[in-house]
Amino acid sequence: MKSKPNFVFQIPLTFFITHWFLLAFHGSAESSTYIVHMDKSLFPNVFTTHRYWFESTIDSIKSATLGDSSEQSPKLVYSYNHAMFGFSAVLSSEELEAVKNSHGFVAAYPDRSATIDTTHTFEFLSLDSSSGLWHASNFGEDVIVGVIDSGVWPESESFKDDGMTKKIPERWKGTCEEGQEFNTSMCNFKLIGARYFNKGVIAANSNVSVSMNSARDTEGHGTHTSSTVAGNYVSGASFFGYAKGVARGIAPRARLAMYKVVWEEGRVASDVLAGMDQAIADGVDVISISMGFDGVPLYEDPIAIASFAAMEKGVLVSSSAGNEGPDLGTLHNGIPWILTVAAGTIDRTFGGTLVLGNGQTIIGWTLFPANALVENLPLIYNKNLSACNSVKLLSTVATEGIILCDSLSDHELMLKQRRFVNEASLLGAVFISDSPLLNESRNFISPSVVISVQDAEHVIKYAKSHKKPTASIKFQQTFVGTKPAPAAASYTSRGPSPSYHGVLKPDIMAPGSHVLAAFNPHLRAASIGTNVILPNDYSFLSGTSMACPHASGVSALLKAAHPQWSAAAIRSALVTTASPLDNTQNPIRDYGYHPSQYASPLAIGAGQINPNKALDPGLIYDATPQDYVNLLCALKYTQKQILTITRSTSYNCSKPSFDLNYPSFIVFYNNKTRSVVHKFRRTVTNVGDDAASYRAKVTQPSAFVVTVSPESLAFRYKNEKLNYDVIIKYRKYEKENISFGDLVWIEDGGAHSVRSPIVVAPSGIV
């Protein structure tokens, strides 16, 4: 195993940060926020509301402690009347004492940083509710997830087996394979299997020397994805103070099996096939694979081939869409019989509080990995320096202060600014940008923060109007509840699928940006400057590789709750219950383009995964292996090509059909043709508890008209199947563009709504 001496990380870091401490100016003691409880029974009748009472209390201590002419004053933050009775306020120690002597005072204590659950995504997905999928599935107990990746770091606390049942399911046929720095004792009741496959890599280069000939992870990727799927509970996890709290996987009671197929020396299809083959043989219930193969037909795609066999056995395969966005048609794993997952942002940001000398506070974005003192330093803003594009100028003029750089919309230019500021060894920097790409970056190697263009106006005004402007920056802050969220990440690959564009891909979107999960503790997690490398047990990673295991974990939960469901049924439940809206109840935005632009299903599929609704979808679109073969036959694949996928001659081509029973619709058109674009036939199965009636509601794609027949469906009993048709026609001639809408089957009484996205696009994008 490659190792790095710890002192390399510790000594330079201490020296580097101490350098800032000695140069920083220490201001006087600051006010703090306190939570104050008041006695509701002593509420004075002179006030009409509790807030007036609290405001009066604050006003009464202003003159008592500071005088009416003072610029400083206590500040009411919140008033409370339900969860508690009282208020929170920014108070000095003297003001706090005055509050304690006020009428009705009960208790006061300092405001505390909230303990955020570190992945947080389970909370963002509402899995932490008192009912729902977590509880219905018993947290995924005894479901086995096979992860196809770069291996695992078995010593991570995420893979401890505390709380796991001590009996592994009898269907499990796998093993814990010994290898370099990996023995069987490293598996347990959580990590029940670990195997490695590198014969393909060795065969491709007979002179290769495999650096870690075992299932041990030397890249960190597999450790991160597997702990995201089903990692155990770990207290105190964080990324250098950011997102501090309790880490856990999406299915924390599921079992894990690692199949290492990704190597520093290469990654080849043969090894991937071997890993997936073994996972199926071992008896896994879900396969999570955060990789893909570009530019290959289905019959040459190892993931397509292996996942067909998995699907036959009821194993759902969850895969990543790729990170080649925002261009269209960059998606991989557009395989009709698997789940393809796009990546979105979450409602959590990491700060960066910029405090100006006049007391004004601005929240910015940063992941600088240290609690550096950048306090009461000169704020430098002038034409010669503000471009931040000259290391020489910055080094000679701005080393003793915080530089305010010019606003930039270009992401690459912003990265250059960061590099120049770091090379100049500045004590602090403020960058200005509204680019959403910056919120996907974690490369903060100098003490700096990014603020919005709107906030920058206040900073510039302050800097210009004061002879000696000053500022401070506070780091290691975490903010939850950011709006809007989610948004389609800029990097997530878009459809249509090059391997087969007749099925809408991706299927859904899941959290993929700044996901905190277990990591190889001997690798770089962050840096300070260019010479201080920081390892960590947990790290933030972004990508569809991070979104995929979220969907894999939810699939494991659904498998535990509905063991009889097919892979297609689970995928259908995820698709038809996904939400196209963000937390402002507006359509999800696309950060790959302008931040205000709404995302199309080619970026987000049906929308953000909604685990609790997927538990009870009402209706499902199921599909059999023969249904997929009918599609392959319609594609005019040869018998041999089909056989490479199906491995069996028992399937036939008597009913070739492009009309796969899929829970979404996509059509390509040519403006020269104004006839019927397409007709679909769909079959839905009632998985509700009893008889139910549904009515169709259609949101029409622009320039097209969608008709549904029949417009209502009446199910007499559970598991009954009914058919309906969808016809998409031109409505009027318009400039070629991508338009989208949806079909929602709404149950009478409102218990269920079953939504399918509709995309109509010009044939030229294929």
Tell me the pLDDT tens digit for each residue of 222-280. 999 999 999 999 999 999 999 998 999 999 999 999 999 999 988 888 889 889 999 99
CA–CA separation, 551 vs 342, rounded Å?
10
Q: Return the pLDDT at 123.
A: 85
221 is catalytic: yes
Which contacts qualify for 562-568: CB closer than 8 Å, 24 or more apart?
Answer: 565/620, 566/314, 566/622, 566/623, 567/310, 567/311, 567/314, 567/315, 567/316, 567/317, 567/337, 567/338, 568/311, 568/337, 568/620, 568/621, 568/622, 568/623, 568/661
Query: What are the φ/ψ torsions at residue 396 (nearest 5 degrees)?
Result: -90, -20
Give me the helices (H) in 562-610, please: 567-577, 601-604
Q: Which of 226, 386, 545, 756 is catalytic?
A: 545
Q: The whole model's pTM is what?
A: 0.83
Q: Cα-atom radius of gyration of the chain, to the nearest Å? A: 29
| Percentages of the chain per state (helix, strand, coil), in multiples of 5 | 25, 30, 45
For the chain, residues classed under CATH 3.30.70.80 are 32-110
Taking residue 286's Cβ as centre, other Cβ atoms within 10 Å add up to: 32
Are 472 and 377 spatial neighbours (Cβ–Cβ below 8 Å)?
Answer: yes
CA–CA separation, 636 vs 299, rounded Å?
12
Distance from first CA to last CA of the chain, Å, rounded? 46
Q: Return the pLDDT at 162.
A: 96
Q: Which one, of 507, 513, 584, lies nearest residue 546 by Cα?
A: 513
209 is catalytic: no
DSSP-assigned beta bridge partners for residue 365: 450
Residues 619-623+660-765, CATH architecture: Sandwich (2.60)
For the chain, residues classed under CATH 3.50.30.30 are 349-474
State which fold the 349-474 domain adopts. Glucose Oxidase; domain 1 (3.50.30)
Give the CATH class of 121-322+332-346+507-614.
alpha beta
Q: Which of 214, 217, 221, 742 is catalytic?
A: 221
CA–CA separation, 613 vs 618, rounded Å?
9
Q: Return the pLDDT at 444.
A: 87
Those residues with Cβ within 8 angstroms of residue 119's Cβ, 6 or more apart along the chain or in another chain: 228, 247, 248, 249, 250, 515, 516, 517
User: In sequence order, what DSSP letters do the residues of 218-255 get, joined into one string?
Assistant: SSSHHHHHHHHHH---EEEEEETTEEEEEE--SSTTSE
What is the token pair recorded at 325?
Answer: 């966005």
CATH fourth-level superfamily of 32-110: Peptidase S8 propeptide/proteinase inhibitor I9 (3.30.70.80)
Q: Return the pLDDT at 113.
A: 38
What is the token pair recorded at 645?
Answer: 């996928």
Amino acid at 627: D
Query: What are the φ/ψ torsions at residue 495 (nearest 5 degrees)?
Result: -80, -175
Q: Which of 117, 142, 149, 616 is catalytic?
A: 149
Are 207 and 252 spatial neighbours (Cβ–Cβ below 8 Å)?
Answer: no
Are 325 and 665 spatial neighbours (Cβ–Cβ below 8 Å)?
Answer: no
For the chain, residues classed under CATH 3.40.50.200 are 121-322+332-346+507-614
Q: Return the pLDDT at 22.
A: 28
Are 455 and 429 spatial neighbours (Cβ–Cβ below 8 Å)?
Answer: no
The DSSP 8-state label assigned to residue 682 in this structure reads E
Task: Give the residue ranges of the chain where pLDDT is below 70.
Answer: 1-30, 33, 35, 63-73, 78-84, 109, 111-119, 383-384, 398, 437-440, 671-676, 732-734
Q: Return the pLDDT at 440.
A: 67
Q: Return the pLDDT at 337.
A: 98
- Using a 10 angstrom Cβ sphere, with 0-12 exposed, 13-18 middle and 19 or more buried, the burial of residue 634 is middle
